[in-house]
Structure 1
Amino acid sequence: MTDQAQLPPGYPQEWEADIVLSDGMVAHVRPILPSDTEAVHEFHAGQSDESIYLRFFAPIKRLSDKDVHRFTHLDYRDRVALVILIKDRLAGIGRYDRIEPGGPVAEVAFNVSDHHQGRGIGSILLEHLADIGREAGITRFVADVLPQNRKMIGVFRDAGYEVSHEFDDGVIAVSFDIEPTDASRRVRMSREHRAEARSMRAVLHPSSVAVVGVSRRENTIGRAFFEHLVRGGFTGPTYAVNNSAEPGTLILGHPTHASVRDIEGGVDLAVIAVPAPEVLTAVRDCAAAGVKALVVASEGFAETGPEGAALQHQLVVTAHRAGMRVLGPTSFGLINNDPGTRLNASVAPPDQVPPLGTLGLFAQSGGLGVAVLASARRRGLGISTFASAGNRVDISGNDLMQYWMDDEATSAVGLYLESMGNPRKFSRVARELARAKPVIVVKQGVGMTAIPRGHRVRLTQEPPETFAMMLRQSGVIRVDNAHQLFDVAQLVINQPLPQGDRVAIVTNNDALGSLAADAATARDLKVTHGPVTVPAEAVIEDFREVVEAAVADPRVDSVIACFIPPIAEIDPEVVQVVAAAVDGTQKPCVATFLGMRGVQPGTGVPSYPMPEDGIRALAAATRYAEWLRRDQGEPVRPEGISRVAADRIIEAALERSPRGCELTAQEVTELLAAYGIEVWPVHPLSSDEEAVEKYKELGGTVVLKATSPLLQHQPGQGWVRTGLRHRKAVGAAYRDLDALLTPLGVDGIAMQKMAPGGVTVEINSSEDPLFGPVVGFGIAGLPIELLGDEAQRFPPLTDADIVAMVGSIKAAPMLDGYRGAMPVDHHALRDLIARVSVLADNHPELASVRLNPVMAHQEGIEVLGAAISVAPAPTRADAERRVLSSGVV
């Protein structure tokens, strides 16, 4: 972060961010400062004549002091400029200036250093300026570009916006709306993916590695890292760094170096294993030596308290300013089994590292990393890559997933998560990865007790089941522990995914067959074949026949084979029989050969100690396969939305109450109208005479209801009078309600036209510090309030997400004509949910939105009541511009 003492008044420090360039290097973006004057002069002097002419339409050799003063002194609202710094040197400048003060249109311009062309700097500046502009009420960018400036035209064209061009007097006038579109979001996420994947490739495929803190004494962390690199057969040069070793000292036959700076030819990856107070010096040495990435194994950072947290922040800031990614601190290390790399930069000895395989693994703490690797090795389950993030100050599971998405050596992914700093991004990236490869996640909880020391995370206000809902929406397979993770992994890696939920059970023991059948039924698998039991004394050929019959049955999607050996040990031929029967089919098989666990070499059939273990894994794979087969849908983009109009209402409310407030009924009506949601008017009353007059004015059938918030959660107490069709009935109903309310010391009676009969539902959203916007839906009243029958999803939503959301509640049959009632208009209901989801996604200032009651009926949907509260917008972890967390959440 920039030094506070140097900041001008109104400087928006929240715009500062570390970002990953298209080549995987880290850079820093921030608002321009008056103190950047000399840097701007130096930047301009380093540009070619062509670049200067394309930017200023004139051959300006030197910018005037007046121009530079205007460039560097801004109000950060009508005039905004950002700079991108690479290793603290100016690499790009982007700015916008409103055409009219406070107006919706701004002129945008960029200038990228000739030395840094092709690294995506212009695209990143455009993303950040557009997001800042939208927050300030700007809706459209315009720019004048010379026809020969193809790179700048390409920045606008390739951003995914609908760009219009006009040619006039030798200049192309470019203009486009900056509201995010499906195309612009796809472009942003694609660029983010490529950049982060390349960044991680540099971490996992270094050409050279140095270990800082290699002791001559054995049984030290630095020595362990170095030994494992050497003994593991790393294919590149390996360097030992020990600042206290005598010149010429050899460790494992390798000469030591006093500093990374002393290593000729440079280093790609440095492992730092020195005491915490010495880490920053080592990081600065690595920065000076041009190191690309760091693994920090040292302890003594945020897990120790505030002083350690401050040191941890200095660590990541120093590394990022030098363009380096950081794994750790307190990292167990990383492993890449690629034969062309053979990288074991971890504390796991080579003989404890799982063999080469196709499972990518990620863990956070070192202790769990040890357990995860040991479990994989015991099962004979090979891995492609492994990383332990430690305190997760920079590199996280999200980064590894971006890498694994394109990694042909990885066919499935396992993540052991102890905390989560950016669930919105996790959900987005995991969903994309899960479409291509199974993603298996161990996550115990999201409360304070589940967060390890040193992990900086936001605290959620949502119940624990919210996280499980997010994983289901993402297509992720959630399991309870590392054993279950590998149970699933050994199945999805070695067997095809199930084509359905029908299973066959074959065994040589009745009790085992019954146990398997009960377990399958309990997990919603349909037993359509068997259990078929051969006699305990049957020969292997008999078992072969029943297995082959199960595989050949067209009513079977998966096979469960359970075999108890008649003697102490399993005959290997039994395993081969089962493997041969399913080989080449599209029907997976899970087996229980008592006493065996894992995948036996050459068979591909996963074995489990008990049937329940294999069936749990099979059910998880079946649900995942069902998710894959479902249409994932398209992002919802309802028509008739005015984000600008909604912003004005929200801004006015927060100007009135800076800490937040409930919107007035008029504000609620206008805000929802900006998103195409009509709220039926509610007319407050003060007497029975006024009630009769209002009834005459409205006509038709009306409803009288008590409006006190104290009564909202007391259903069935007679606070509503419906079906009033005569003025005498209206007057009497008012007097009756008033008589009920007076002894309670509450007041407030209102009239509303009566909606068509149907099903009363509730649609709501809330802004959670951890998850961001969470949208909920359910049948109003007791189903939600007492039974918790509410579906939740996390915007942005697809149309398929909303269909699944509506159908997932237990009371969903009420919407489809339960007991002879007419089905509701599902199209209108889904459209309303879509509008609420986009509203919540677009406006983080909306602390809560509640539409209740909402009447869903055969001919449409009517919003009869709504309440909205606003608060200062939190900084979402996954914004519309690419940002690295830098350990800050």
Structure 2
Amino acid sequence: MSYKTLEPFFKPKSIAVIGASRSPEKVGYQLVKSLIDVGYEGKIYPVNPKADEILGLKAYPNIKSIGETVDLALIAIPAQNVPEVLREAGECKVKCVIVISGGFKEIGGEGVKLEEEIKRIAKEYGIRLMGPNCIGVYDPHNKIDTLFLPRDRALRPKKGDIAFISQSGAMGVAFLDWMTMENIGLSCFISYGNKADVDEIDLLEYLLHDEKCKVIAMYLEEITNGKRFIEVASETSKVKPIVAIKAGRTMEGAKAVSSHTGALAGREEIVEAAFKKAGVIRAYDTHELFDYARALATGRIAFGDRIAIITDGGGAGVMATDKLTDERMGVGLKLAELKDETKLELKKHIPPFAIPHNPIDLTGSVTPEMYGDVIEIVSRDENVDGIVVIVLIHPPGMNVKVVDEVEKAYKSTNKPILIASTGGEPTQKILRMFQERGIPSYPEVERAVKAMKCLVERGRYLKKLERRFH
């Protein structure tokens, strides 16, 4: 089925909210409010037979009474009533439906039969169905928000170029909170729940063609069709990097997945092999997922494993070197051997008592200008594939101007440059400034080093593809 059948989930001209409510504590109330708050520009049709108006919008007793074309229907009613309403939506030629309601496959027994029934109805009427047991779509670019969670408690990230797919709604929302706090932009978020119809494979196909998405981050609990997943992920990762967390790695974790969405988690070694074959970069926690995604979103790839470290703190440089080069406890990359001409040029710009070797310690006599000069010099060295820059703002000569100087140097090269800085609020302010200017920044040296390894992995994968096709 064409990826274009999913467009009404992201670009609907009209939305019906079935189960809309006048009570602020109800899901149906918040669904309408979320659409209003995000600034949705299409028509919103609240459906509730007991209401004439909801949040200033005319309410309708059922979807048939709307009398207009509905592109997307949100269903938030008791599970046993969903089949009837879904059939009615089909008769009204609704293209796409998000079933927010739970009480299906994830509870077993009758819930499994109920889910099979709505699958049959959706197929009969040619409806693309997302869910059940999900929270749907948040797309800040197209101003779509089907999250039934109040904005003061569930934060929404700013516009960006990272798409995030999550089988779990609760985990997805927690990640959105984290993205907002870390000032990471989002192209769209999709929670697809029990995947009675739309699954991670369909969404990968759609996002492959979505111009506003540069990187795809995924939280997966199980993969239904492994062979098809590998095919689609392989095609997608040729163009856009995919970073994924696969939950349920352990036996107990797999049991937890089954009770959550009624899913089978799959054997760990098979998942690992599938990801490797498809070029999917694996993450194991929240930090890794989005640390990798924001590094990849720059489009800068490390086509080798020779990394330079620039710092104004010797201890931080040593820790970064350990993490970079240790094959067992670190990421197993190489410390770049700088060319002689690079070292000679560095001597002109660093303190006379500083040593021009990698890691390059600018010492406590550092200035913002020194950072800019040294980054430019090192980035021109052919022996350097990527640079980790540790910016400690505590020395007397340092100030916020370092952001301008580093940005200037960053723009002078296409090599990947990642920033790390550890410290309190003044440091966090600097990190936010880097992030706002599109330079990936991390509050821990180790996280920046791991993100660089991700860029090296991506480079290796692209070089492997190049060899395969030439």
Q: Normalization by structure 1: what TM-score? A: 0.47
Q: CA deviation at 1:395?
A: 0.9
Q: Deviations over 1:451-476 (max 9, x none)?
A: 2426454575x5x2331122111111
Alignment partner of 1:406 is 2:212: no
Structure 1 residues 276 and 616: alpha-carbon distance in aligned structure 2, compared to 1, 3 A threshold: same
Q: Deviations over 1:495-524 (max 9, x none)?
A: 511121111101011110001111111212
Matches within 5 A, 1:201-280: 201-245=7-51, 249-280=52-83
Instruction: Report the aligned-residue RMSD.
Output: 2.2
Matches within 5 A, 1:58-457: 195=2, 197-245=3-51, 249-338=52-141, 341-349=142-150, 352-446=155-249, 447=251, 448-449=254-255, 451-453=257-259, 455-457=261-263
**Residue identity in the other structure for 1:418:** E
Q: CA deviation at 1:599?
A: 6.8
Partner of 1:36: none
Cα distance in 1, alignment partners of residues 314 and 71 from structure 2 = 60
Matching residue within 511, 535, 541 for 2:315: 511
Cα distance in 1, alignment partners of residues 297 and 433 from structure 2 = 10
Partner of 1:524: 332
Partner of 2:355: none
Q: Is the 8 A contact 1:419 1:455 kept in 2?
A: no
Structure 1 unaligned residues grouped into runs of 5+: 1-19, 21-194, 635-798, 801-889
Cα distance in 2, alignment partners of residues 450 and 589 from structure 1 = 39
Cα distance in 2, alignment partners of residues 306 and 223 from structure 1 = 30
Q: CA deviation at 1:326?
A: 1.0
Alignment partner of 1:625 is 2:429: no
Partner of 2:352: none
Bigger CA drift: 224-233 or 523-532?
Answer: 523-532
Q: Is the 8 A contact 1:502 1:526 kept in 2?
A: yes
Cα distance in 1, alignment partners of residues 232 and 204 from structure 2 = 7
Alignment partner of 1:603 is 2:437: yes
Q: CA deviation at 1:445?
A: 3.5
Cα distance in 1, alignment partners of residues 133 and 276 from structure 2 = 31
Structure 2 unaligned residues grouped into runs of 5+: 339-357
Partner of 2:447: 613
Q: Is the 8 A contact 1:490 1:598 kept in 2?
A: no
Q: Is the 8 A contact 2:302 2:458 kept in 1?
A: no
Percent identity, aligned pairs only?
29
Q: Deviations over 1:780-833 (max 9, x none)?
A: xxxxxxxxxxxxxxxxxxx99xxxxxxxxxxxxxxxxxxxxxxxxxxxxxxxxx
Matches within 5 A, 1:647-796: none
State the SS of the aligned residue for 1:386: strand
Partner of 1:562: 390
State the SS of the aligned residue for 1:494: coil
**Residue identity in the other structure for 2:448:** G
Q: Is the 8 A contact 2:313 2:362 kept in 1?
A: yes
Structure 1 residues 430 and 331: alpha-carbon distance in aligned structure 2, compared to 1, 3 A threshold: same
Aligned length: 435
Which ranges of 4 or more aligned residues in structure 1 deviate by more than 4 Å? 348-351, 456-460, 567-570
Cα distance in 2, alignment partners of residues 417 and 449 from structure 1 = 14
Q: Is the 8 A contact 1:599 1:607 kept in 2?
A: no
Which of the pair is proportionally richer in strand? Answer: 1
Partner of 1:4: none
Structure 1 residues 454 and 633: alpha-carbon distance in aligned structure 2, compared to 1, 3 A threshold: farther
Q: Deviations over 1:550-587 (max 9, x none)?
A: 22222111111112221799833222222221214121
State the SS of the aligned residue for 1:550: helix
Partner of 2:269: 465
Structure 1 residues 309 and 487: alpha-carbon distance in aligned structure 2, compared to 1, 3 A threshold: same
Q: Deviations over 1:253-303 (max 9, x none)?
A: 101101011112120100001111221222122112111111111111122
Q: Is the 8 A contact 1:280 1:315 kept in 2?
A: yes
**Residue identity in the other structure for 2:145:** N
Q: Is the 8 A contact 1:380 1:599 kept in 2?
A: no
Cα distance in 2, alignment partners of residues 374 and 568 from structure 1 = 35
**Residue identity in the other structure for 2:376:** E
Partner of 1:482: 286
Which of the pair is proportionally richer in helix? Answer: 2
Q: Is the 8 A contact 2:311 2:317 kept in 1?
A: yes
Q: CA deviation at 1:396?
A: 1.1
Partner of 2:420: 592
Q: CA deviation at 1:601?
A: 5.1
Cα distance in 2, alignment partners of residues 231 and 551 from structure 1 = 45
Partner of 1:547: 375
Q: Normalization by structure 2: what TM-score? A: 0.87
Q: CA deviation at 1:439?
A: 0.5
